[in-house]
Amino acid sequence: MDFKYYSVKEINAFLTAKGLAVNKKFGQNFLINSGVCDTIVRNLELTPNDVVFEIGCGLGSLTNRLIDSSAAKVVGFEIDNAYQKHLQNIFRDSCKFTLVAGDFLKEFENAVKTHLAPGQQPVITGNLPYYITTPIMEKIFTATLGFSRAAFMMQKEVGERVVSKAGNKKYGSLSIFCQYYSEPKIIANISPASFYPQPNVNSVVLRFVHRTYEPSADNEQLFFAVARSLFINRRKQLKNNFALSPFLKSIPLEHIFQAMEQCAIAPEERGENLSIEQIIHLSNVINKLNSESKI
Ligand code: SAH
C-alpha cells in the first residue's frame, strides 16, 4: 500500500490539495512517527483470528499498519466527514478494511455484532481523541462482549492515573475502574514531536489485557459507588467521605460503618490507601448487610 503521510510536509500538501483543515474539535493530532504505529501494532499481537477495531483513523497512519498486520479484518471508525472520504479512497483496494463512518461511542456495539463471529472478542486500538478518552474506555470495558486486548495512545497524565496502584497520589476512581476490567500497562512514552499538529501534552501508549476480577463485586454498581466515594475529598478520612457521599445516599451509614469494621478498615483511613480487593470486599459486605436488612 502506498501510504505517505508520515511527515508534516506530506500532510500539509495533502490538506492544502483537498482544502482540508485539522479540526481541533475532534481531537485531531495525526501520528507522523511510523515507529510508534509499529509499536502499537506489535503490542496488539494480532493473529489471523483477530478482528481489530480502530478508533479515529484520521489520515490512516495506524490503519495502514493494521491492514498490513496478520489480523483478519480491520474495522475503522471516523467521525469527520472529510477524513471518511480520504480513508475510503486510500483503502479502497483493501478487502480487509471496513470504515464505520460515525461516532465510535454510538456505533461500537453495533459494529462488534456485525463483524465478529459468535464467541469472538474484539481487539481494540487507537490514537484516541483525548477529549473523549474516559467515555471511550467506559464504553469498551462495560460492553456486553468485552474485549480481549487493547492498546491506546492517550494523554500521559491520564495514562498514569489509569495504571496507578493504591497508595499513589494518582490512584483514583479511574484507576479502579480500568484495573477492575483489565490489566493496563504503559508500554511507551511519546513526545509531542510524534504528532502533527503537536499536542501541548506528553502522551503514552497503554496496553490493556482483559480480566475478570476474582472474587468479583456482587453488586458492581455499589462497588463503583463505594470507589467514587473514597475520593470525594482526598484529604478527608474515609468516615467523612462516606458520610458526605452523594453516590451512597440509598445505603444507611450504619451499614457502611459496620462493614468497615467487619473488613478491618479503620474509619480514619484515607481512600487512596484501599486496594481494589479491599474495596470489593467492603462493597460486598455493605451489599450483604443492606439486602439482609430488607428481608
Ligand atoms: N489515528 C490517526 C488519527 C488520530 S487523531 C493518527 O494516529 O494519525 C483522532 C481521530 O479521531 C481524528 O481523526 C478524529 O476525527 C477522530 N475522532 C474524534 N472523535 C471521534 C469519535 N467520537 N468517533 C470516531 N472518531 C473520532
> Does any ligand 1 atom lie closer than 6 A to the CB of residue 195?
no
CA distance 173 to 194: 30
User: Which residues, other chains included, contact 159 with Cβ-Cβ below 8 Å and sequence gap of 6+?
Assistant: 186, 203, 204, 206
Atom of ligand 1 nearest to the CA of 23: 15
Cell 479484518 sits on residue? 73
Q: What is the spatial distance between Cα 173 and Cα 39, in angstroms, rounded to a whole number?
A: 28
pLDDT, tens digit, for every residue of 246-275? 999 999 999 999 999 999 999 999 999 999
* Contact criterion met (CB below 8 Å) for 145 and 53: no
Q: pLDDT per residue over 274-286, tens digit each? A: 999 999 999 999 9
- The model carries a pTM of 0.95
pLDDT at 2 > cutoff 80: no
At 65, list the grid cell.
499498519
Regarding beta strands 73-78 and 51-55, do their DSSP bridges make them parallel or antiparallel, or are they unpaired?
Answer: parallel
Helix and strand totals (H; E) in the chain: 12, 9
Distance CA 140, CA 122 (A): 10
Whether residue 215 is preceded by a cis peptide bond, meaning omega within 30 degrees of 0, is yes
Q: Tell me the pLDDT tens digit for each residue of 5-18.
A: 999 999 999 999 98
Give residue-wise pLDDT tens across range 72-99: 999 999 999 999 999 999 999 999 999 9
Ligand 1 center to residue 84 CA distance, Å?
10
At 176-221, the pLDDT tens digits run 999 999 999 999 999 999 999 999 999 999 999 998 888 899 999 9
Does the beta carbon of 104 lie inside 6 Å of ligand 1? yes
Report pLDDT digits (tens) over 51-70: 999 999 999 999 999 999 99
CB of residue 29 inside a 6 A radius of ligand 1 = yes
Expressed in angstroms and rounded, the spacing between residue 185 Cα and the centre of ligand 1 is 22
